[in-house]
Every structure is written in C-alpha cells, then in structure tokens.
Structure 1
Amino acid sequence: LSPADHLVVVRPNYATNIETPKAIGCAISYVDLDFDQGFAIDIEHVKAELRPNTKLISVTCPHNPTGTMMTRADLDALIALAEHHKCRLLVDETYRDLSYGERLPAAASLSPSAISVCSLSKAFGIPGIRIGWLLTRDPQLQETFLAAKEQIGICGSVIDEAIARATLERRDAFLASLLPEMARRRDIVQAWIDGETLVDWVRPQGGVVGFPRLNIDAGFDLDRFYTRLLEEHGAYVGPGHWFEMPKRFFRLGFGWPTEAELRGGLAAISAALRS
C-alpha cells in the first residue's frame, strides 16, 4: 500500500486493518454492517465504494465481533469484484475452523486476487505462540510477503513452530470436541438473551464472540453501565466504541470462561443494567 491507494473496509474490522492503512496515508471507504440486516455484507454497497485506485477490499469471515458469516455467493461476488477492478480481496479467516454450519473454502483457494489470513490464536486458543499464515496463489505476492517477513523477523521460534505443528496434526480431533462445546455455550447465551428484554443479538454462525445490542432509552448512562459492570459485578465486555460502533453494542465472548463464569457474567450484565 501507498498513500495513493484506496481501500474498502467492511466495518467492524480488526483495528490493524484500519489503523495501518491510515498510518500509510491511504484513503478508506467504510461499508458498515447493520444489526437490523443481520450484519450481512451489502455487496452492492461494496461495489459502489470502489474507485479506480482501490487496492484492497478488507473483510473478516467468520466476522469479528458479530460472529456472522458470508454466504458462498457473497464470497464469490466479492472475488468477482476484486478480479474485475484488478484489486485484492483480503479475508481474515482466523475463526474459520469454528464455523457451526458449512465451512467456506479459503478465499485464496478460489482466486489469485484473494488473500487469506489465518492463525492459531482464536479457534485453537494459543495466541501466545504468535503463529499465523498468509495464503495467496500469486507467486509475485508470495515473494513480496516473504521479503516483508524477513525484514520484520529473520526467523521464528522453533519451539512455537513445534507447538503449532503438533496442534495442526491434531486439528480434526481437537475440533471434533471443541465445536459441539462452543455451540452449546452459544446456546447458553441464546437462552439468556431470549429471557432478557434489554439485550438482543444476531446469533453467531462462527467463532466464539457475539455483538449484542442493548435495548435501552436514549438517556441511559452507558459509561456508568460499563464501569458498574466491571467494578461492582466483576464482569467485562468489549464496548462498541472499540470497533467504531455505538456504545450500546458490546462484544461478548463465550469461549474462554468456564460455564459457571459464563453464566455468572450474563447474570452480571442483567444486574448492571438494572442497578
């Protein structure tokens, strides 16, 4: 990327996918996901934001923080846009292995115009080893990535790589037990939301986070709610402003806590909303 380039970023998105091009000086157009539309990507909106100097379309799937997923038709349409406009489609697929329905193919496997990004930090729960990968079918882009990696870090930790290899060799067995357990935890959150009039969400289709919305009056003190939730009830969520979204949204993770902690955290949210 260079200051002359333009990006289309589907938002919310990871901060680095926004702040890095900002630091470079790129122009950015945002396509914001809408709760009332099920956080579905508006392909026509993406198309309308493309410019002659568009270099990249940036999306995540499964999406962070909503947990929603593109359809295969959406993915194909985005790839077609990238190919037609001679730009790249960047798909962060960190949660891809935690898809509760049909798992989409890696975007990079479908076109040289697509780049897939993945890691072991989310679905496999080992962010500390700092192992991830980029996929592209473009040989020139592969060389560019390798050159950049060499400048960033000459070599990785062989211990971290050994842990990553051992994890991937057990991938199928790991996911066979993990996916049903995470789906059960998602159902725990769903049952809470079904009985909580002040909270609603779009049911996640992948990953271990959701992005509920508070059904509150305009005068509700959101800053006080988040402070009280933490200081008086010992629970913590990611306020919407982390993702350049309104504070009435928050990211809720259901993968890391124990079941008792998850249920306790949900009860704490209900209590903080009414205290």
Structure 2
Amino acid sequence: MVNLPPFALDHWLSAHDFATPPIAYNLASSTGPRWSVGEIAALGDAPLDLTDTVLSYAPPQGSAPLRRAIAAFHGADPDHVVATTGASEALSILFCLAAEPAANIVVPDPGYPAYEAVAQAWGLATRAYRLERADGFTQRVEAILAEVDAGTRLVILNTPHNPTGSVMPRGEIETLAAALAARGVPLLVDEVYHPLYFGAPQPSAAGIPNVIVTSDLSKALSLPGLRTGWLIDADAERRARIIDARSYFTISASPLLERLAAHALTHASAILDRLEAVAGVNIALLDELMAGSRGKLAWVRPQGGTTAFPWLADGRDSRSFCQTLASAGVLLAPGDCFGHPAHMRLGFAQQTDGFDFAVGRIADALAAL
C-alpha cells in the first residue's frame, strides 16, 4: 500500500481560499493574477470561438497547435513537446519511468513538497541539496553534484525557484547538465515560473543537451484552471515512453482546454505583461515592508518567479503568526509546509487589488510580536 503523506501546503491553502467566505487577501498563492475564460478568449484580433469544438479525445502527446504554441514559448522543436495534465502529471510520469530498486532522485531543499512525496510513492528514494539562506538560496552546481550517487536516476532543478525565487543562470545549467550527462543522469529543469525575472532575462533551458524541461500554464502564465502542462525532451526513445505513460495515466487532455491553452500561449505576451505589472508593483511594497520591519522579518529578495520565502528573524515557528494573519484576512503559507518552520511563503503576483492593505496588516502583526 502506498502511503502518501498529508499534503500540508494544499490543506492550508484549501482551508482558507475555498472557505465561505474565502480569504480576503491571498498572499499564499504561487500563481499570477486571475483571468476569466472570456478574457482569454478575447485576446488577439480574432476572439476565440469554442462552439465548434468536438468533445472527443485529443492526441496523447497533445494537439499539434498546442505543441507548436508550447514550442514557440520555449524556443524548442514542436516534435520534442508532450502535453500533460498540469506539470504534476509530467513529474509523475518521469518518476514512474525512473523507478527501479535502489534508485533515487535529487531534489532541492526547500522545494515544492510534491517532488519528494510523489517520488517516494513511486518507490524512489530522495536525496536533497540544500539552498542556504546565508548564500542567498543560490542553487550551486557543486552542491547538486555532491548528492548524485550510483543510484541517481534524475536530478531536479527548479528555476526560478519555488518558494525562494532564486535563479540559476543558463551557463551554470549547461555546466550541470554536462556533468550529469557524463554520469548518465538526466537533468529535469522545472520552469513553471519562466520567464518572470527581476534581473536580466534568461532563455528557457529547452535545447540544452541532457535537459528535460517541464512547465505549465499555472504559474507564470496564471491559468491554473486549464490544467495544462508539458514536457520538452529531445530524447526520442524516452519521449515515446513518456507518451505511452501519458496514454495509460490520463489518455489525453480535453480538446476544449487544449484550444484555450493554445490560444493563451499564442498571446502569452499579454498575459505576461499583466503579470509583470502586478509583480513589479507588489514586490516594491514588499521592499518597503522588509525595510520597515525593524529587523523582525528577513528575506532574500527573489530574482524571479512569484514567491518569496521570508523568515522571522528570532527563529520562532511562523505558523501562529500565519494563523493570526489569516484571522485578519491575509493568507501566507507557513514554512512548516516546506520543512522550514521559521519561514513563510509569500506570493506577490496574484493579488491585483489591496496588496498594499494586506502588507499593512502584516506590518501591524509584526509590530505586535
């Protein structure tokens, strides 16, 4: 019997964001500003008409228009793209294909909690490389390679990183991928927050030898309700196995969702413009919050993505602080959901209105500590 641990992060989010009434200011979310179906369909010169969509199956690898749109977004070959039901299915497929006795994968710590839980459900051990806050949560090639051993079948790099916002430059990704290739280990680059960067923009890792890229519409593209993700893999043999696995897991996506997804990707610049505008204004407000916290709250300013991972400077567990804020209508995610109790995840890209008010409530709660 597979024993999946309780998904503490989703339990916390669901208890508040889906409550009646829902939380007023959701700063725990890791997505961008919300869009309606009508707003997405209206993008471009020719609004999307979905009324002629046949509700049959889609190809297991995804429709050709969707794969072309994904490829254009990453600067990749459409033949290398496999659509999935969110990035979560992409991860599960890769873990399934990597599973064998005594095998392990290497994951970041802190990191997205599902990496470890789902890998272990497939029978894979996990080895973690630590992102140290004293080092700016930098993801270092040597620290990652130090965790690779004879049983390693996959290494995961998440850049921009959830929850810290750190970014590994492309040149270092190339160095890491080449070093892993010499050991026969593929590098999975999770790019769900690409291309939101607060410094120099960075191209996708798609096309780097020995790299598999996974991403989705949920995070930087702000459309989690479309449940559309993908893998980009130049290895034709492994890609065929991925498509077979997708056929077994979910058969295909909905043609309706795939048409919406392809349309959204075709007009990704409009979606990203809105994301960058909201994130830019809100991260400036966080700068002010941190500067005015009188040393009670510390952080490493994110280099990319939609989340930060601040911590209470006195080292106390943040859960009670997050509970106090939730009672005041402001939702943060306590750090124990990521195995780091003094921290909290703070999302700054979904809340288009009232972020300044929410930050004020955080400042008031800090003053009362």
Q: TM-score, normalised by structure 2?
A: 0.69
Q: Answer 1 or 2: higher relative contact order, Cα 8 Å, separation at least 6.
A: 2
SS in 2 for 1:107: coil
Match status 1:171 vs 2:268: yes
Residue deviations 1:227-262 (CA, integer Å, cap 9, x gap): 22212x1111111111112x21110011111342x1
Is contact 2:285-2:359 (8 Å) kept?
A: no
Matched-pair identity in % = 32
- 1:135 CA drift (Å): 0.4
- Stretches of structure 2 that go unaligned for 5 or more consecutive residues are 1-97
CA contact (8 A) 1:10 1:30 kept: yes
1:17-166 equivalence runs, <5 A = 17-111=115-209, 113-166=210-263
Where structure 1 has 5 or more consecutive residues not aligned to the other structure, the ranges are none
| 8 Å CA contact retained: 1:13, 1:59 | no
**3-state secondary structure, aligned to 2:272:** helix
* C-alpha contact (below 8 Å) 2:322/2:333 kept by paired residues: no
What does the per-residue CA deviation read over 1:30-55, in whole Å, with 9 as the maximum and x for residues that have no partner?
Answer: 11111110000132222222111211
Structure 1 residue aligned with 2:364? 271
Checking the alignment, whether the CA contact within 8 Å between 1:3 and 1:24 is kept in structure 2 is no
Equivalent residues of 2:319, 2:334 under 8 A apart: no
- Segment of structure 1 superposing worse, 23-32 or 130-139: 23-32
**What is the match of residue 6 of structure 2?**
none
Please tell me whether the aligned partners of residues 100 and 179 of structure 1 are also in contact (alpha carbons under 8 angstroms).
no
Q: Which residue of 2 aligns with 1:254?
A: 348
CA separation of 1:271 and 1:30: change in aligned 2, threshold 3 A = same
Distance in 2 between the 1:222 and 1:11 partners? 18
Counterpart in the other structure of 2:325:
229
Give, in whole Å, the separation in 1 of the partners of 2:270 and 2:318: 42
CA shift, 1:221, in A, is 6.2
Task: Call closer, same or farther: CA 1:161–1:194 in 2, change over 3 Å.
Answer: same
Q: Which residue of structure 1 aligns with residue 311 of structure 2?
A: 213
- Is the alpha carbon distance of 1:157 and 1:91 closer, same or farther for their aligned partners in structure 2, counting shifts above 3 Å? same
Higher helix share: 1
Following TM superposition, by how much is the alpha carbon of 1:140 offset from its aligned partner in structure 2, in angstroms? 0.7
Number of positions where the alignment pairs a residue of Structure 1 with one of Structure 2: 269
Tell me the CA shift for residue 192 of structure 1: 1.6
